[in-house]
Amino acid sequence: MLYVFACSVDRPNEGSIRFNAEFSPMASPAFEAGRPGVDAVELARLIERGLRGSGAVDTEALCVLAGRK
């Protein structure tokens, strides 16, 4: 999904990226439907930190309107 929202006051010329991970019950009976579990949240954070830290995503290119969105 794609969401457009107001940019951060700290970084008005940069967009941001967020990740969400879901473990489907179809993949394993150990996973339950509903809110993401601790493992899913940790996986999303790990992916987000890895991509931000690597500089693989150009956050300035994600900015639609500098200082606005």
pLDDT tens string 1-58 = 667 777 778 888 888 888 888 898 898 888 888 888 899 999 999 998 998 889 888 8
Q: What pLDDT was estimated at residue 59?
A: 83
The 10 Å Cβ neighbour count of residue 44 is 16
Q: What pLDDT was estimated at residue 14?
A: 84
Transcribe 15-55 into DSSP letters: ----------TTT-TT--SSS--HHHHHHHHHHHHHHHHHT
Q: What pLDDT was estimated at residue 1?
A: 62
Q: What pLDDT was estimated at residue 69?
A: 59
First-residue to last-residue Cα distance in the chain: 17
Q: What pLDDT was estimated at residue 16?
A: 81
pTM of the model: 0.67
